[in-house]
Amino acid sequence: MPCTNRTTRLALAASAASLALLTTACGGGSGPDASGPGDGGKPVTLTFWSATAGAKETAEAFNKTHPDIKVKFSLVPAGPEGVTKLSNAVKGGNAPDIATMDYSALPEYASEGNLEDLTASSGELVKKEFPEAVQSLVNLGGSTWAVPFDVTPIQLYYRKDLFQKYGVEVPTTWAEYRTAAEKIHRGDPDLTITNFGGGDPALLSGLAWQAGAQWYGTKDDAWKVNIDDPKSQKVAAYWDGLLKDGLASRTPLWGEGETKERATGKVATIIGAAWSAGSFPVSYPDSKGKWGIAPLPTWDGTPSTGMYGGTSYIVPKGSKHTGAAAEFIKWVTTDPQAMTARLSSLKTPSSALPANEGMRAAAAKEFDNSYFGDQDVYKLSGEAAGTIVPGWTWGPVQQQVTSAQMAAGGDHTKMLSAGQTKGESAVTDRGLKLAQ
Amino acid sequence: MAAPLTRPAKTPPPRAASPSDGPAAPKSPSGPGARRGQRRAVTLFMVPFFALFTAVTVLPMFYAAWMSLFREESSGLGFGGTERVFAGFGNFTEALTNEAFLRSFGHIAFYCVLYIPAMVGGALVLALLVDSAMARARRFFQIAYFLPHAVPGLIASLIWLYLYTPGLSPITDVLDALGANWNFFGHDEAIYSVVNISAWQWTGYNMIIFYAGLQAVPREVLEAATVDGSGALRTALQVKVPMIRPTVVLTLLFTCVGAIQLFDAPKLVQLRANTMGEDWSPTMFIYTAAFKGHDYGLAAASSLLLALVAGLLSFVVTKLGNRWKAS
């Protein structure tokens, strides 16, 4: 297929180019070093791949204040394509020194031997500077594989005007949420509580996480796959019920109809993460002042939430400069300057909640709260972050599980069973041990 | 990248209808010396083909065969990295017992049932229409119908992806206005969306082939039919079509072999029609196995199996085709 040929050619060109880069980078005479910046005054050059907004400007700001390290940034595709590109680069021996990665992909990457072990260079940093809830996401099998960038507590975004119109209180439990849905739908059959027609299994996993499920775990040297457990089933049945009764809309998440439904007031709530807030002023500019933020409804009344997405920093296998890379990663995940550089370069607001407390203040300062009627967005998401149920771990076959779950469409119960089947077979296929 | 078998089967251009195979070789005036020189020239001209053929087809195939014998093993939780171990024919048994892989062939079979009659029938009808059109209009229709084929498959799929997308597409707007509720990305509807993209791309191309075949039908035969009182429709169906049967059979052959390697259109439609699954067609299964599952051994084994099926299919269709041609 012509596309393959072109990719091969591109890959060849890219590998040739990066080979040249690597040789210049090693020209400092220090060779493979784990100790940090090159000696002898010649700066170490690091390559940095990311799909995150503002990464380029962040790298430039770093270069200004760190004369001995030079970070060269390249934009890569977001999502699965970016992940594929990176793993191919590692296989081809031309991976960058630093990259960003979704938490859910870490175990898969680490267990395929695609990541440098950061225990020595960043293990202490992660333990001291980051909250409990993200520890289990980046520390796997006794090693530290990544440094967290943000936390992504799920929150409830709701239309204050619609709630008022139909006499609905902000729900604190899922039972109340369903009652609210019924009331609103009865008031206007065109309205639904939210759109939940599949399209993003990550949200279901976050809601299962809140309910106390743990889709993956380890027992001795075996992986546990628990996607279809009773707690997740409770969540799936709840949402399938809302869909069946017409209380939630079948428009898929991220689907084309979604923005329209949300912008025109056809849905009364959005289940989103901390980072979602930043997209509201851009996607639904006409609804300024109508949206409010509340903690996610819970099953038992005790404040709790799960995570939906989230980014970490990694060093792909084969980097010759893990020390220098760790220094950049420390700066970019904990130094408020990095946050300021990132945010000031963005054209649209970002509400990503840094995992590191020190960074949060810097991020909060840059965020304009006026869209949400002066609710303190960062304060609310910070509080929500404190209620993330600890202990969640992602598994070594999550990409395939996600694919299988996507194919289930808007049937959440099927999403769980399909994910469970795929998860088990994929773990065994890879020669990993599956706990019984 | 060693998956060598995902090349869409391009039907070769129709052979020139001229009876002679190239210019008749003039009697060589100066004996064996010149012949040797000729042979050398021939060799020289053949070298680039065989060099490229070896480099981009034969070698990758052997590499795939080699890869298909190994699998990546991890131990325990896997954080120690992976190890490459010899698997014998393990990957082949795994592919042959893999439900998704087998199901993907079923999808293609159903696709063929929908696609082949629509596309071949459409191309034939168009060719007959153009053949009976006014001399000046012929040229225009020929180019107009061929144009979609000039658009690369990936681009065509992208264009259709937009045309299927509610909110972006004028088609869905019209359907909505008419009250028709058709979801191009629905679980059952998605296959029609794929068939439509392929048909759009290939109908014009095959129309040109059929049209060329029709041009070769001796005019005397058509005149004789007219003199015998046959109308245009009857001439088309009972004289023209039987006379281009070999061309139609050839097209069927290439379409079948092409269908089994279907990739671009379903891959793109699947981006929106999630319920199709990422392993809808055999080539999509291979792609997903390699780049999502990182199971290169399984991907290589499935590629070889797909090649085998495609080879068998070509053989069977050719045999059948010859029999039809003869009858």
- Shortest Cα distance, chain A CAs vs residue B197, angstroms: 18
Mean pLDDT score, A285-313: 95
In a domain, A379, yes or no: no
Between chain A and chain B, the number of residue pairs with CB atoms below 8 A apart is 107
Mean pLDDT score, B248-273: 88
Confidence of residue A144 (pLDDT cuts 50, 70, 90): very high
Per-residue pLDDT, A12: 39
Is the Cβ pair A8, B1 closer than 8 Å? yes
Mean pLDDT score, B64-81: 85
Domain span including residue A172: 154-308+397-429
Note the pTM of the prediction, 2 decimals.
0.80
Q: Which of A7, A81, A111, A259 to mutate to test the interface with B (most CBs of B within 10 A)?
A: A111
Per-residue pLDDT, B194: 95
Confidence of residue B32 (pLDDT cuts 50, 70, 90): low
Is the Cβ pair A409, B275 closer than 8 Å? yes
In a domain, A243, yes or no: yes
* Percentage of chain A lying above the pLDDT 70 cut: 91
Q: Where are the domains of chain B?
A: 89-326
Per-residue pLDDT, B273: 87
Mean pLDDT score, B158-170: 87
If asked whether residues A179 and A53 sit together in one domain, one would say no
Smallest CA–CA distance from B85 into chain A, residue: A431
Per-residue pLDDT, A67: 92
Does residue A260 belong to the interface with chain B, where contact is any CB pair within 8 Å?
yes
Does residue B74 belong to the interface with chain A, where contact is any CB pair within 8 Å?
yes
In a domain, A386, yes or no: no
Last residue of a domain, one of A341, A365, A389: A365
If asked whether residues A303 and A317 sit together in one domain, one would say no
CATH class of B89-326: mainly alpha
In a domain, A253, yes or no: yes
Mean model confidence pLDDT for chain A = 88
Is the Cβ pair A400, B56 closer than 8 Å? no
Q: Which residues of chain A from 20 to 39 reach within 8 Å of chain B, CB to CB? A: none
Per-residue pLDDT, B327: 63
* CB < 8 Å to B280, chain A: none
Mean pLDDT score, A321-346: 92
Smallest CA–CA distance from A430 into chain B, residue: B73
If asked whether residues A7 and A47 sit together in one domain, one would say yes
Residue A349's CB is within 10 A of a number of other CB atoms, namely: 17
If asked whether residues A94 and A169 sit together in one domain, one would say no
- Alpha carbon B52 to its chain centroid, in Å, reads 22
> Which of A84, A111, A406 is closest, CB to CB, to B77?
A111
The rounded distance, in Å, linking the Cα atoms of A31 and A23 is 10
Per-residue pLDDT, B257: 83
Residue A59 confidence (pLDDT) above 70: yes
Residue A3 confidence (pLDDT) above 70: no
| pLDDT tens readout for residues B107-163 | 999 999 999 999 999 999 999 988 887 767 888 888 888 888 888 888 999 999 999
If asked whether residues A279 and A177 sit together in one domain, one would say yes
Locate tokens 């068939």: which residue? B195
> Which of A11, A143, A199 is closest, CB to CB, to B79?
A143
Residue A286 dihedral angles phi and psi, to the nearest 5°: -75, -15
Q: Would you report the helix, strand and coil content of chain A in percent, each value rounded to 5?
A: 50, 15, 35
Residue B169 confidence (pLDDT) above 90: no
If asked whether residues A63 and A82 sit together in one domain, one would say yes
Smallest CA–CA distance from B293 into chain A, residue: A400
If asked whether residues A45 and A167 sit together in one domain, one would say no
* CB < 8 Å to A426, chain B: 293
Higher pLDDT, A13 or A410: A410
By CB neighbour count within 10 A (0-12 exposed, 13-18 middle, 19+ buried), where does B204 fall?
Answer: buried
Smallest CA–CA distance from A255 into chain B, residue: B272
Q: How many domains does chain A have?
A: 2
The rounded distance, in Å, linking the Cα atoms of A120 and A326 is 10
| pLDDT tens readout for residues A60-93 | 999 999 999 999 999 998 877 788 889 889 988 8
* CB < 8 Å to B166, chain A: 256-257
CB A98 within 8 A of CB A313: yes
If asked whether residues A314 and A303 sit together in one domain, one would say no
Is the Cβ pair A256, B6 closer than 8 Å? no
Locate tokens 């791309």: which residue? B201
Per-residue pLDDT, B24: 46
Q: Which of A198-202, A282-286, B4-8, B241-245 has the lowest mean pLDDT?
A: B4-8
In a domain, A372, yes or no: no
Per-residue pLDDT, A148: 96
In a domain, A163, yes or no: yes
Tell me, what CATH number does A193's domain have?
A: 3.40.190.10
Tell me which residue of B229, B250, B257 sits closest to B320, measured CA to CA: B250
In a domain, A434, yes or no: no
Does residue B131 belong to the interface with chain A, where contact is any CB pair within 8 Å?
no
Residue B250 confidence (pLDDT) above 90: no
Residue B83 confidence (pLDDT) above 90: no
Mean pLDDT score, B34-54: 89
If asked whether residues A166 and A303 sit together in one domain, one would say yes
ipTM above 0.85, yes or no: no
Mean pLDDT score, A209-213: 97
Is the Cβ pair B8, A223 closer than 8 Å? no
Is the Cβ pair A433, B94 closer than 8 Å? no
* CB < 8 Å to A84, chain B: 291-292
If asked whether residues A35 and A117 sit together in one domain, one would say yes
Per-residue pLDDT, B182: 85
Mean model confidence pLDDT for chain B = 84
Distances (CA, A) of B272 to A216, A248, A436, B311: 28, 20, 36, 32
* Percentage of chain B lying above the pLDDT 70 cut: 88
The rounded distance, in Å, linking the Cα atoms of A116 and A318 is 7
* Percentage of chain B lying above the pLDDT 90 cut: 40
CB B5 within 8 A of CB B310: yes
| pLDDT tens readout for residues B183-208 | 888 888 999 999 999 999 999 999 99
A275: its two tokens: 């980072």
Mean pLDDT score, A101-113: 91
Confidence of residue B287 (pLDDT cuts 50, 70, 90): very high
- Shortest Cα distance, chain B CAs vs residue A233, angstroms: 20
If asked whether residues A163 and A293 sit together in one domain, one would say yes
Most confident of A298-307, B76-85, B263-272, B306-315: A298-307
If asked whether residues A293 and A413 sit together in one domain, one would say yes
Q: Which helix (H) or strand (E) holds A352?
A: none
Mean pLDDT score, A35-61: 79
Per-residue pLDDT, B325: 64
Smallest CA–CA distance from B1 into chain A, residue: A8
A133: its two tokens: 């809830």
Is the Cβ pair A431, B71 closer than 8 Å? yes
Is the Cβ pair A143, B7 closer than 8 Å? no
- The angle, 0 to 180 degrees and rounded to 10, between the axes of the packed helices A336-345 and A357-366 is 30
In a domain, A392, yes or no: no
Per-residue HEC secondary structure of B59-110 comes to HHHHHHHHHCCEEEEECCCCCCCEEEEECCCHHHHHHHHCHHHHHHHHHHHH
Per-residue pLDDT, A104: 94
Mean pLDDT score, A290-312: 96
